[in-house]
Amino acid sequence: METILNYLHQHINIIYIVVLSIFLGIEVIGRVPSVLHTPLMSGANAIHGVVIIGAIIVMGRVEMGNYAALIIGFLAVLLGTLNVVGGFVVTDRMLEMFKKKK
Amino acid sequence: MELNLLTLCYLIGSITFIVGLKMLSHPESARKGNLVAAFGMAISIIGTIFLYQENGEGLHNYEWIFSALIVGTIIGVLAAKKVKMTAMPELVSLFNGMGGACAALISIIEFKHITHHFSIASVAAPLTEVPYATYLSIFAGLIIGSVSFAGSIIAWGKLNGSIKDFSFKGQQVFNIVLFVFAIALSAYLIVNLTADTLPLFYVVLVASLVYGVLFVLPIGGADMPVVISLLNSFTGVAAACGGFLYNNQVMLTGGILVGAAGTLLTILMCKAMNRSLLNVLIGSFGASSGGTQQAVTGSYKEIALSDAAVCMSYANKVIIVPGYGLAVAQAQHICHELEKILEEKGVDVKYAIHPVAGRMPGHMNVLLAEADVDYDKLLEMEAANDEFKQTDVVLILGANDVVNPAAKTDPASPIYGMPILEVEQAKTVIVNKRSMKPGYAGIENALFFQPKTSMLFGDAKAALQKLVAEIKSM
């Protein structure tokens, strides 16, 4: 029990971020029209590609010569990039189509 | 100095994600919102590469990082630019899977990194200097990331037709047991990690992957958008686990935002189909419907192309109802051509879009927009239902369940209660389908047997081409 309370106290900033982000995430897309469900999903998909930052940090810390870790890290950065770049480009392509009819 | 700058980069990143998501949920600002979020992402990534420091030391292995970034960018841009509009849902699922895999790989490397000395010194005592919270983040990232990865790949395969529905007896129970096993084993490892128990980490990995596969396999193809949206929010949470691990605010806010927004979006999608999330995940359509449904009997009549052409060109008002069949046949362009020809003849042409027509919510809007169909011609469900009464001809292109009157009249029907397009209020209904085979829900459609309905069999693209040629020659 005390370890949990201790943990809460030490990481209270992070916990605030999490709680507020949850509410924000729900509020922010509250009244999205169904037309935009697909682009919104695709855009959100690109945003969680932020995981790539973790991959970059991991990669940048691997000691030279540790090839197993280097290769896994390389894969992680590669996949993360695919997620981010592909996600944003696909979303833009979808939304571009909505725009030009007028 | 560098670290302060990096904090600023992350702050900008977090704010752009929030603003971007907000703008993405309004039609006028959506495209800009996407760019805003992309901009914030670029700042965060570049900032991390050049400014990140740990114990006063910057990152190295730049050649590896940049080559991965460049290769990933090239493949990502090409894939996103080349993909056909109909294959969009698959691609989103695939990209989502990549994000999940990335999160899982980070966990694997971090785990190897902090347990490194086990293998050297063969210490048999549990580590005390690494806090439980770190292990918790690693295991959570591993499990959620792998489930998301495996599930997304299966969803991708299902949408492009290479993987069929599969389920075995007791699968639900097996899934739950597997899931509990992965969690329990992780909990055990977090508390009792020794050199001997290290390999069990990979057992958790495999169990999570298998769970991801089995979780998505039995879910029907038409529910894939909901599943993808759910897996999307999973990956968001996996990214947030990375945020915990590195105490990284932008990963935290980005991940949690997507996790929360994705979950809400999933629920909204279910609502559009009038089903609960649980129902989508556990019960597959048709499987639970007993024999109590009203039997649909009678005979249908076919209509000749020339009759359909006459019927439509002399109508005052035609409403086209596009469905999955249109998407599969890639018939959106020829459909737009039909609309233009009819308009030249003085016919008022509109489209009625059911919120879940196609394979993704908004799928039809994207497809028709690709074919340059005027935005004002697309009617949402309520507006369309008001207009059917004054409509002479309704042309249904490969849609089925979304126009099935059983959803209103037959309480025993598995789709009972789903809002539908009430096409039977129009004077004439022409249905283009490839065959009399039932739609995704696996039920007959009484609409096809009504006296005012006639069938025009054939692939949507071929049938429309012939129809356009016929009307032109009139």
Examine the pLDDT at B266 and tell me if it is beyond 80: yes
ipTM value of the model?
0.93
Distance CA(A61)–CA(B63), nearest Å, equals: 13
* DSSP assigned state of B302: B
- The DSSP line for B136-177 is HHHHHHHHHHHHHHHHHHHHHHHHTTSS-----TTHHHHHHH
Asked if the Cβ–Cβ distance from B30 to A39 is below 8 Å, we say: yes
Question: Which residues does residue B302 pair with via DSSP β-bridges, in sequence order?
Answer: B455
Least confident of B2-6, B33-37, B395-399: B2-6
| Residue B87 in contact with partner chain A when CB distance is under 8 A | no
Distance CA(B88)–CA(A86), nearest Å, equals: 11
* Antiparallel, parallel or unpaired: β B317-322 and B393-397: parallel
Least confident of A50-54, B124-128, B354-358: B124-128
* Antiparallel, parallel or unpaired: β B378-379 and B348-352: parallel
Examine the pLDDT at B320 and tell me if it is beyond 90: yes
Neighboring chain A residues of B246 at a CB cutoff of 8 Å: 53-54, 57
Asked if the Cβ–Cβ distance from A24 to B18 is below 8 Å, we say: yes
Examine the pLDDT at B166 and tell me if it is beyond 90: no
Examine the pLDDT at B150 and tell me if it is beyond 90: yes
Mapping DSSP to helix (H, G, I), strand (E, B) and coil, where does residue B443 land?
coil
- The DSSP line for B246-294 is HT-HHHHHHHHHHHHHHHHHHHHHHHHTT--HHHHHHPPTTTS--TTSP
Examine the pLDDT at B149 and tell me if it is beyond 90: yes
A57 and A19 co-located in one domain? no
Least confident of A86-90, B119-123, B354-358: B119-123
Cα distance between the two ends of chain A: 61
Distance from CA of B286 to the nearest CA of A (A): 25
Asked if the Cβ–Cβ distance from A49 to B99 is below 8 Å, we say: yes
Question: How many domains does the structure of chain A reveal?
Answer: 2
Least confident of B320-324, B393-397, B412-416, B438-442: B438-442
Nearest to A21 among B81, B133, B257 (CB): B257
* pLDDT category of residue A102 using cuts at 50, 70 and 90: very low
Amino acid present at B233: S
A57 and A25 co-located in one domain? no
| Residue B346 in contact with partner chain A when CB distance is under 8 A | no
A41 and A65 co-located in one domain? yes
User: CA dihedral defined by B380, B385, B387, B388, rounded to 10 degrees?
Assistant: 130
* pLDDT category of residue B38 using cuts at 50, 70 and 90: very high
pLDDT in tens, B332-353: 899 999 999 999 989 999 999 8
Domain boundaries, chain B: 1-82, 85-282, 305-472
Question: Which residues does residue B340 pair with via DSSP β-bridges, in sequence order?
Answer: none
* C-beta separation of A91 from B37 below 8 A: no
Sheet-wide strand order for B453-457:
B378-379, B348-352, B317-322, B393-397, B428-433, B453-457
**pLDDT score for B395:** 93
pLDDT in tens, B409-446: 887 776 777 788 899 899 999 999 887 777 666 678 88
Q: What is the 3-state secondary structure (H, E, C) of B377-429?
A: HEECHHHHHHHHHHCCEEEEECCCHHHCCHHHHCCCCCCCCCCCCCHHHCCEE
Q: Which of B289, B252, B360 is nearest to B10 (CA)?
A: B252
Question: What is the Cα Rg of chain B in Å?
Answer: 26
Nearest to A99 among B31, B69, B81 (CB): B31
Distance CA(B254)–CA(B38), nearest Å, equals: 12
**pLDDT score for B287:** 42
Count Cβ–Cβ pairs < 8 Å, chain A vs chain B: 376
The CA-atom distances, in angstroms, between B229 and each of A40, A48, B95, B260, B388 are 10, 12, 12, 11, 32
**What percent of chain B has a predicted confidence (pLDDT) above 70?**
91
* C-beta separation of B460 from B326 below 8 A: yes
Asked if the Cβ–Cβ distance from B232 to A48 is below 8 Å, we say: yes
Neighboring chain A residues of B257 at a CB cutoff of 8 Å: 21, 24-25, 28, 44, 47
Examine the pLDDT at B211 and tell me if it is beyond 60: yes
A80 and A45 co-located in one domain? yes
Element (H, E) at B41: helix B30-51
For the record, the structure tokens of A101 come out as 């009819």
A48 and A25 co-located in one domain? no
* C-beta separation of B110 from A58 below 8 A: yes
**pLDDT score for B221:** 65
Angle at B100 between CA B99 and CA B105, to 5 degrees: 95
**pLDDT score for B296:** 63
Asked if the Cβ–Cβ distance from A22 to B259 is below 8 Å, we say: yes
Asked if the Cβ–Cβ distance from A81 to B68 is below 8 Å, we say: yes
A13 and A42 co-located in one domain? no
Asked if the Cβ–Cβ distance from A59 to B61 is below 8 Å, we say: yes
A52 and A80 co-located in one domain? yes
Asked if the Cβ–Cβ distance from A48 to B225 is below 8 Å, we say: no
**φ, ψ for residue B430, nearest 5 deg:** -110, 125
A26 and A37 co-located in one domain? no
**φ, ψ for residue B280, nearest 5 deg:** -65, -45
For the record, the structure tokens of B244 come out as 């915990």
A25 and A38 co-located in one domain? no
A17 and A49 co-located in one domain? no
- HSE of B417, CA atoms in CB hemisphere, 13 A: 9
| Residue B259 in contact with partner chain A when CB distance is under 8 A | yes
Nearest to B60 among A60, A76, A85 (CB): A60
Reported residue count of chain B is 474
Question: What is the Cα Rg of chain A in Å?
Answer: 19
**pLDDT score for B290:** 41
Q: If you average pLDDT over residues B19-37, what whole number do you get?
A: 92
**pLDDT score for B291:** 42
**pLDDT score for B412:** 76
Domain of A9?
1-31
Distance from CA of A19 to the nearest CA of B (A): 9
Mapping DSSP to helix (H, G, I), strand (E, B) and coil, where does residue B331 land?
coil
A62 and A17 co-located in one domain? no
* C-beta separation of B396 from B425 below 8 A: no
Distance from CA of B410 to the nearest CA of A (A): 26
Neighboring chain A residues of B103 at a CB cutoff of 8 Å: 51, 54
Distance CA(B140)–CA(B396), nearest Å, equals: 47
* C-beta separation of A86 from B91 below 8 A: yes
CB-CB neighbours of B333 under 10 Å: 16
Mapping DSSP to helix (H, G, I), strand (E, B) and coil, where does residue B21 land?
helix
Asked if the Cβ–Cβ distance from B52 to A57 is below 8 Å, we say: yes
For the record, the structure tokens of B130 come out as 């690494």
A38 and A27 co-located in one domain? no
Most confident of A44-58, B289-303, B367-381: A44-58
- Catalytic annotation on B348? no
pLDDT in tens, A17-47: 999 999 999 988 877 877 788 889 999 999 9
Q: If you average pLDDT over residues B133-141, what whole number do you get?
A: 92
**φ, ψ for residue B285, nearest 5 deg:** -55, 140
Neighboring chain B residues of A3 at a CB cutoff of 8 Å: 132
Q: Between B403 and B87, where is the model more confident?
A: B403
For the record, the structure tokens of B286 come out as 């048709």
Distance CA(A80)–CA(A51), nearest Å, equals: 7
**pLDDT score for B118:** 63
* C-beta separation of B171 from B282 below 8 A: no
* DSSP assigned state of A85: I
User: CA dihedral defined by B219, B225, B226, B227, rounded to 10 degrees?
Assistant: 50
Q: Which of B236, B12, B361 is nearest to A25 (CA)?
A: B236
Topology of domain B305-472, per CATH?
Answer: Rossmann fold (3.40.50)
* pLDDT category of residue B295 using cuts at 50, 70 and 90: low
Please identify which of the residues B196, B401, B410, B459 carries the catalytic annotation: B401
